């Protein structure tokens, strides 16, 4: 995420220098081995701390994670040989750590196991990764399907309205015993659509249309879809009570619009609209106002004699971790209650790995985001650039929204921590994001090698 | 576009910095405050995550722990709970702790850094040592004798070893069962409320936290002050004390229950507990001398810890002569805990040297290795050794042919002083029967036990209540038990 990005950015009309770039697949493999070993180490540490013996499934867990990671690595080696070598190991490490944390929490809630399902979903996620990397030979193909993407995204977003609410939020659909969160998939589809739409219309957005005071307003034809998407986001918020997702859409949309047009005015407009929407919804929806109140006064419920609420428990967990953490398996984060494996998974990480471990996790995400941005900078086609930026921003915003929420930096909104949190849809979606980043980073580095994308 | 991508990247970097800064704020800066928040259960869980160390009497634990398997895993159990409650106190997951459970909590809960194998070891490993044990100075036989002797009457007993200050017995009745306050069940709340609302105040530790008018037992002190000040040079010389005695500056007259108190010698006055003689003696010594002696014995000292706090016994130093006269016979604003009166008896028994009382002989690790020992206790000279010698003689007379005959033990030198303290407006309240004394087995150079007994008994007839009738036999039982076979 540093601004100092190496490699000169090449203007679109410059001829490609024929340089032989290292492919670095060996580094990727070495890093994957490290990631798997770290995860197995964490798994063993949990077992030793909780039961005093090595957990019986350690070998199986390591082998399973290793096989998945190796299959993904082989796919990358064959189909995207120039891809960035950090993306896949970071995904493996975060997913492995997430499984360790969920397994660790399962030990304290034996009648509500989440790790086995999470393992299945992780497998599905890696499978999707393999399929995307293998089948999508060039990211530009996606441009043709942008309207299919947006239609699918809108359909997915509206689906949960027909299903019953869970914990006050209508964001799940249940199919054959599995509960799926369609809005997770919609994120990626929307990013693809935004990238394609903005790549096609960015000049119109930046320069055409009327000037009003000092803002350049584009024509209605170009602005229409933008407003439509904004309305959809608000609609999601109101109908499904999914604050996190709508916040993410706003952020993603504003960032991509700014990158496409370079108009800071769009940020102002976006923020204004977001604020208006939030205020309006806050007025209408008592639970939104309650979230904001909790954020401002996390200990109000204690003073009122009702005991600590989830956010207060989460803050207690982080505080208990201190600098070095209690050690895996030795924390008391289950005091948080029912969302401890999903929304509040970071509190377990913070308590048991301490500020040190938490910072390491944040830096892993930062590295993932930075690698996405780097690919965006290196690419030449506007769609690819916007897609890379959009995908990286999704990861960054997801992390910020939920990590900021559980640490009391911003009001708490429901959102899964990418790769770490319990939530099948989230894991699968984030593997898809990593797959797309692998693909664009492969294109980005391949072009300097004088090879044309097949 | 490149520039804008970099701007967006910088924005993401800003988000990261915000997250890291906020995490540091929570996990480092705010952490101590959050850890100590009463609503944060982590400290409680850690505290109850292992069996608590035990409190030992006669080398045997009188406490235990049971594993409930719940979140607050181990609960405290007590053998003979009501008997030892004034010493152990209770430890409750809901209502905190008291007495030894409270003051020795560091040892019992394993948090005392002295329990860890190396300095700072536990801070580094975040581990907790297994709970250590607390070895008390109590003599189980004396404790039982006192508790059974009080039976269903309200009262308290404190017994000391004069030469060391070891507390041999500390009993308060009515008592309660501390185990009913262990744990987290609804029954705990019920028990707590019942105990709090009980008019008999079973949770009040009468031996150290309740002050009573000491009545005639205070005359030991007045005699000591008079002898030390030279007001009395010969205990057999007649004093100039009228009977009845008119309090100086008033028309109030003071009378005696005993006869032949007029101009009685100190020996006779002490034997028959003559109010008139001692009231006048206090006035003759003067407030300065009386207060000095009282404070030497420990009155007006709120800082006494044995290791838990003992309520201050009081001797009012801002009195006129009439009030001084009443103060000198243990009335007016003079109030004492049973432990304080046991200290007075112990000081007399120990040649005027008062050893500060203590309850904890030593603390050990869970394996029994000594962590800390009581060692030598501070000592205070309360009176001249010659005064102490003469007082022992006077106290012996009380038991041998005075009001304290019921305390006599065959083959043992016993000294004592009886007391009946009136209280309430117009003395309407039930009087307290007092006895303070000490016992010295034949062949021992110094007395082995000093004791103070107070009994308040509303069932008995007022006439029957006297230190000699109610308290002396109980003192005798406790001293006999303490001297042992």
Task: Tell me the mean pLDDT in the region A313-342.
Answer: 90
What pLDDT is attached to residue B134? Answer: 95
Residue B79 has what pLDDT? Answer: 92
| Chain A residue numbers touching B45 (CB-CB < 8 A) | 332
Query: In angstroms, rounded to a whole number, what is the distance separating the alpha carbons of residues B382 and B380?
Result: 6
Report the half-sphere exposure of B195 (CA within 13 A, side-chain side).
21
Question: Taking chain A, what is the end-to-end CA distance rounded to the nearest angstrom?
Answer: 30
In a domain, B239, yes or no: yes
Q: Where are the beta strands (DSSP E) in B322-382?
A: 353-355, 360-364, 370-373, 379-381
C-alpha B346: how far from its chain's center?
14
CATH (domain of B256):
3.40.710.10
CA–CA gap between residue A262 and residue A255 (Å, rounded): 10
B29 touches chain A (CB under 8 A): no
Please report whether residue B455 resides in a domain. Answer: yes
- Give the separation between CA B301 and CA B313, rounded to whole angstroms: 7
Per-residue model confidence as pLDDT tens digits over A144-154: 998 898 888 88
Give the pLDDT confidence score for residue A23 in this predicted structure.
83
Over residues A87-113, the mean pLDDT reads 93
Cβ-defined contact of A308 to B39 (cutoff 8 Å): yes
Alpha helices (H) along B151-202: 186-197
Q: How many CB atoms lie within 10 A of CB B236?
A: 9
| Per-residue pLDDT, A10 | 42
pLDDT at position A15 is 55
Q: Please indicate whether residue A166 or residue A435 has the higher confidence score (pLDDT).
A: A435
10-residue averages of pLDDT along chain B (485 residues): 91 95 94 89 86 94 90 90 94 88 92 82 77 95 95 92 95 94 89 93 94 91 94 90 88 83 91 90 94 94 92 93 92 93 96 94 91 84 94 93 86 90 61 91 91 78 61 93 86
Give yes or no for B35 touching A (CB within 8 A).
Answer: yes
State the catalytic residues of B.
216
Inform me whether the pLDDT recorded for A298 exceeds 80.
yes
- Region of B40 please: left (phi>0), alpha (psi -120 to 50) or beta: beta
pLDDT digits (tens, 9 = 90+) for B271-295: 888 889 999 999 999 999 999 999 9
**pLDDT of A57 higher than 60:** yes
Contacts of B27 (CB under 8 A, 6+ apart): A318, A319, A321, A322, A323, A350, A354, A355, A358
Question: Of A73-87, A205-219, B234-248, B450-464, which range is least confident?
Answer: A205-219
Note the pLDDT of residue B300. 95
At B337 the pLDDT is 96
Instruction: Compute the distance between CA of residue A160 and CA of residue A155 in angstroms, rounded to an integer.
Output: 10
Residues B196-209 have pLDDT tens digits of 999 989 999 999 99
pLDDT at B423: 61
Confidence of residue A205 (pLDDT cuts 50, 70, 90): confident
What pLDDT, on a 0 to 100 scale, did the predictor assign at position A429?
A: 95
User: Is B229 part of any domain?
Assistant: yes
Nearest CA in chain A to B37: A316
Residue identified by tokens 């593997």 is A431
Number of H helices, E strands in chain B: 18, 18
Listed residue (B256, B243, B202, B218) closest to B345, CA to CA: B218
Residues 6+ apart with CB under 8 A from B98: B89, B90, B308
Q: Say whether pLDDT at A252 is over 70.
A: yes
Taking the C-alpha atoms of residue A318 and residue B129, their distance in angstroms, rounded to an integer, is 24
Pick the closest to residue B467 from B217, B176, B250, B241 (CA basis): B217
- The secondary structure of chain B in percent helix, strand, coil, rounded to multiples of 5, reads 40, 20, 40
CA B79 vs. chain centroid, Å, equals 21
8 Å CB contact between A223 and A217: yes
CA B76/CA B218 separation, integer angstroms: 40
Angle between helices A243-261 and A220-240 (to 10 degrees): 160
Strands (E), A263-352: none
Residues of A in contact with B10 (CB under 8 A): 3
Question: Cβ separation of B1 and A3 shorter than 8 Å?
Answer: no
Could you tell me which residues come within 8 angstroms of residue A358 by beta carbon, excluding any fewer than 6 positions away? A318, A321, A346, A349, A350, B23, B27
Reference B325, options B292, B300, B290, B273; nearest CA is: B290
Q: Give the domain extent around B445.
A: 215-365+376-483
Compute CA A393 distance to the chain's CA centroid, rounded to the nearest angstrom.
8
SS3 state at A384: helix
Residue B159 lies in a domain: no
Chain B residues within 8 A of A258 when measuring between CB atoms = 4, 7-8
CA distance B90 to chain A (A): 25
Q: Is residue B421 part of a domain?
A: yes
pLDDT surpassing 70 at residue A237:
no
**CB contact (8 A) between residue A399 and residue B19:** yes
Is the pLDDT at A454 greater than 60, yes or no?
no
A355 and B39 in contact by Cβ < 8 A? no
Q: What angle do CA B458, B464, B467 make, to 5 degrees?
A: 90
Asked if residue B36 is part of any domain, the answer here is: no
Nearest CB to A382; choose among B1, B7, B31: B1
Any idea what DSSP says for residue B485? Answer: -
Distance of CA A182 to the CA centre of its chain: 14
What is the rounded average pLDDT for all residues in chain A? 85
Total domains present in chain B: 1
Judge whether B223 lies within some domain: yes
Q: Which of B293, B332, B363 is nearest to B129 (CA)?
A: B363
Residues of B in contact with A199 (CB under 8 A): none
Does some domain include residue B167? no
């Amino acid at each position: 995420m540093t601004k100092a990005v190496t490699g000169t950015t090449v203007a679109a009309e410059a001829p490609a220098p024929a340089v032989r770039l290292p492919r670095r697949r060996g580094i990727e493999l070495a890093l994957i081995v490290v990631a798997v070993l770290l995860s197995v180490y964490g798994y063993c540490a949990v077992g030793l701390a909780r039961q005093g013996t090595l957990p019986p499934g350690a070998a199986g867990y390591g082998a399973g994670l290793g096989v998945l990671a190796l299959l993904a690595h082989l796919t990358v080696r064959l189909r995207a040989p120039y891809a960035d070598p950090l993306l896949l190991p970071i995904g493996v490490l975060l997913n492995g750590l997430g499984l360790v944390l969920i397994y660790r929490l399962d030990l304290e809630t034996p009648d509500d196991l989440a790790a086995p399902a999470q393992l299945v979903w992780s497998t599905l996620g890696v499978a999707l990764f393999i399929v995307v990397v293998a089948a999508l030979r060039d990211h530009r193909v996606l441009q043709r399907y942008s309207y299919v993407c947006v239609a699918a995204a809108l359909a997915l977003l509206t689906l949960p309205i027909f299903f019953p609410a869970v914990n006050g939020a209508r964001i799940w659909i249940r199919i054959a015993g599995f509960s799926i969160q369609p809005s997770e998939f919609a994120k990626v589809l929307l990013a693809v659509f935004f990238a394609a739409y903005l790549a096609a219309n960015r000049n119109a957005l930046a320069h055409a249309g009327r000037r009003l005071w000092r803002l350049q307003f584009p024509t209605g034809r170009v602005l229409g879809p933008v407003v439509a998407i904004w309305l959809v986001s608000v609609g999601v918020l109101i109908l499904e009570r999914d604050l996190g997702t709508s916040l993410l859409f706003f952020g993603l949309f504003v960032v991509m619009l700014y990158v496409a047009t370079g108009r800071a005015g769009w940020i102002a407009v976006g923020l204004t609209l977001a604020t208006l929407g939030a205020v309006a919804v806050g007025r209408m929806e008592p639970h939104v106002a309650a979230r904001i109140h909790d954020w401002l006064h996390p200990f109000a419920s204690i003073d009122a004699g009702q005991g600590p609420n989830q956010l207060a428990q989460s803050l207690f967990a982080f505080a208990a971790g201190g600098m070095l953490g209690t050690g895996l398996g030795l924390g008391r984060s289950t005091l948080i209650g029912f969302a401890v494996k999903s929304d509040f998974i970071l509190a377990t990480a913070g308590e048991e790995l301490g500020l040190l471990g938490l910072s390491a996790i944040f830096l892993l995400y930062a590295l993932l985001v930075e690698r996405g941005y780097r690919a965006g900078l290196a690419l030449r086609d506007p769609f690819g650039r916007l897609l890379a930026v959009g995908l990286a921003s999704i990861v960054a915003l997801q992390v910020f929204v939920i990590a900021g929420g559980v640490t009391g930096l911003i009001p708490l909104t429901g959102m899964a921590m990418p790769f770490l949190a319990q939530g099948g849809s989230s894991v699968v979606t984030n593997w898809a994001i990593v797959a797309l980043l692998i693909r664009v980073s492969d294109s980005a580095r391949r072009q300097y090698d004088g090879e044309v994308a097949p | 576009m490149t520039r804008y991508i970099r701007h967006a990247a910088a924005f993401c970097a800003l988000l990261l910095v915000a997250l890291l800064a906020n995490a540091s704020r929570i996990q480092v800066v705010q952490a101590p405050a959050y850890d100590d928040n009463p609503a944060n259960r982590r400290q409680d869980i850690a505290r109850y995550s292992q069996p608590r160390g035990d409190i030992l009497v006669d080398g045997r634990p009188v406490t235990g722990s049971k594993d409930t398997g719940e979140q607050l895993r181990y609960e405290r159990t007590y053998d003979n709970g009501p008997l030892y409650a004034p010493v152990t106190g209770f430890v409750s997951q809901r209502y905190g702790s008291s007495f030894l459970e409270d003051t020795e909590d560091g040892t019992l809960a394993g948090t005392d850094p002295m329990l860890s194998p190396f300095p700072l070891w536990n801070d580094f490993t975040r581990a907790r040592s297994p709970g250590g044990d607390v070895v008390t100075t109590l003599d189980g036989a004396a404790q039982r004798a006192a508790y059974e002797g009080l039976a269903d009457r309200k009262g308290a007993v404190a017994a000391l070893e004069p030469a060391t200050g070891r507390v041999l017995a500390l009993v308060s009745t009515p008592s309660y069962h501390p185990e009913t306050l262990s744990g987290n069940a609804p029954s705990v709340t019920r028990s707590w409320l019942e105990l709090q609302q009980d008019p008999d105040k079973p949770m009040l530790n009468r031996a150290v936290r309740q002050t009573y008018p000491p009545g005639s037992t205070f005359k030991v002190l007045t005699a000591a002050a008079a002898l030390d000040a030279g007001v009395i040079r010969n205990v057999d010389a007649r004093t100039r004390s009228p009977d009845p005695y008119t309090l100086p500056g008033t028309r109030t007259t003071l009378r005696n229950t005993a006869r032949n108190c007029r101009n009685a010698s100190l020996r006779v006055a002490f034997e028959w507990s003559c109010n008139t003689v001692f009231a006048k003696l206090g006035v003759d010594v003067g407030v300065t001398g009386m207060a000095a002696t009282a404070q030497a014995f420990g009155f007006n000292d709120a800082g006494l810890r044995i290791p838990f706090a003992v309520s201050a016994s009081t001797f009012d130093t801002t009195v006129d002569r009439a009030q001084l006269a009443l103060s000198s016979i243990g009335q007016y604003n003079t109030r004492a805990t049973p432990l304080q009166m046991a200290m007075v008896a112990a000081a007399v028994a120990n040649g005027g040297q008062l050893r500060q009382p203590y309850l904890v002989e030593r603390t050990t690790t869970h394996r029994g290795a000594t962590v800390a020992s009581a060692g030598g206790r501070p000592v205070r000279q309360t009176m001249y050794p010659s005064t102490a010698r003469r007082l022992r003689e006077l106290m012996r007379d009380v038991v041998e042919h005075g009001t304290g005959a019921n305390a006599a033990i065959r083959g043992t030198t016993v000294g004592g002083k009886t007391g009946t303290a009136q209280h309430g407006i117009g003395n309407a309240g039930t009087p307290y029967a007092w006895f303070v004394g000490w016992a010295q087995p034949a062949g021992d150079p110094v007395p082995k036990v000093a004791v103070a007994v107070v009994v308040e008994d509303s069932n008995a007839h007022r006439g029957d209540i006297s230190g000699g009738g109610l308290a002396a036999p109980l003192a005798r039982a406790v001293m006999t038990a303490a001297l042992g076979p």
